[in-house]
Amino acid sequence: MFTALVLQNTPNFHAELAQLDESSLPEGDVTLAVAYSTLNYKDGLAITNKSPVVRQWPMVAGIDGAGTVIASSHPNWQVGDLVVHNGWGLGETRWGCLAEKARLKGDWLVRLPAAFTPRQAMAIGTAGYTAMLCVLALEDHGVRPDQGEILVTGATGGVGSVAIALLAKLGFNVVAATGKASEEAYLKALGARSIIDRASLSAPGKPFQKERWAGVVDAVGSHTLANALAQTRYGGVVAACGLAQGMDLPSSVMPFILRGVTLAGVDSVMAPLPKRQRAWARLAQDLDVSVLERMVQEVPLADCVAHAHALMAGQVRGRVVVKIPAIS
């Protein structure tokens, strides 16, 4: 038996810890003893049932996990290996990692970088790994620190916090957009040079505005993304990875055809293994773990539901790491 955070929809939706038998685990060629998981935005949506994230019931929540291989028939993984898992439909269509055990496909796993402990890997989680993919998108499209300011929206969230730390370490002039003026010291400690009120971006704006940003990391979508595009400089790049404000894009083609702006979509869920390995290798190289620790709150598995509700209410900054009980 093992403990897991289980989501049920009969007779009504509820999320609670339950004891499950190992025989109920899904098919897979690697079994993981999960040491740490995390709460991402998608986890919050699923655990609070605020969006139809879950597509099969019952569901064990948790899109991320880090821990030790305890059984494997996959040629790349041996018992005792330390691994990281992000995405691939966990917590949506397949049981996830907010549990003491998870059964996964070996082709989905990334070897835990030597630079990180399992806890640190989950302090990064899908949010931080997505932030790295956004930074790589900017770099791959030629954005350099000497070209001007980089805007990061949703700055106090998981993606935003890690993106700021990464971009600052790489020498970029980062401007953080937030609705939480009280978090200015936190954001500047991560590396942001200046702060703007998210209200200046979140309302409907003109489709073509004064040029400012050499690049943008946007986790918000909707009017915020539209305004960021309208303010991006000639040849600039906007990496879009989230929809916290909405999934619409009330914009026009003007930034693209008159300024040559690139809108780079960033997907972390189904990203191929080489892209994941590249992102984790760069995180190990470019993310300062002392800065990472400033954005981390650790909670026990038993407190996940309460923290998921806080996350959805905008009461959480940075990253929530979930300590999983050791298998008895």
pLDDT reported for residue 101: 97
Please say whether the structural domain 2-112+295-323 has been given the CATH code 3.90.180.10: yes
pLDDT reported for residue 281: 97
Q: Residue 307: how many CB atoms within 10 A of its CB?
A: 20
**CATH number assigned to the domain covering 125-265:** 3.40.50.720
- What's the average pLDDT block by block, 10 residues per block, for the chain (328 residues)? 94 94 94 96 94 93 97 98 96 96 97 97 96 98 97 95 97 96 94 97 96 97 98 98 94 96 97 97 96 93 95 90 85
DSSP 108: G
Locate 73 and state its tokens. 């028939």
Domain residue spans of the chain: 2-112+295-323, 125-265
What pTM was computed for the model? 0.93
At residue 33, what is the residue type?
Answer: A
Q: Which residue from 65, 114, 102 is spatially nearest to 85, judged by alpha carbons?
A: 65
pLDDT reported for residue 326: 79
198 — phi, psi (to 5°)? -60, -20
pLDDT reported for residue 328: 58
What order do you get walking across the sheet with 14-20 strand by strand?
14-20, 2-8, 59-60
Give ∠ CA 205-207-210 in degrees, rounded to 5.
85
pLDDT reported for residue 51: 87
pLDDT reported for residue 284: 97
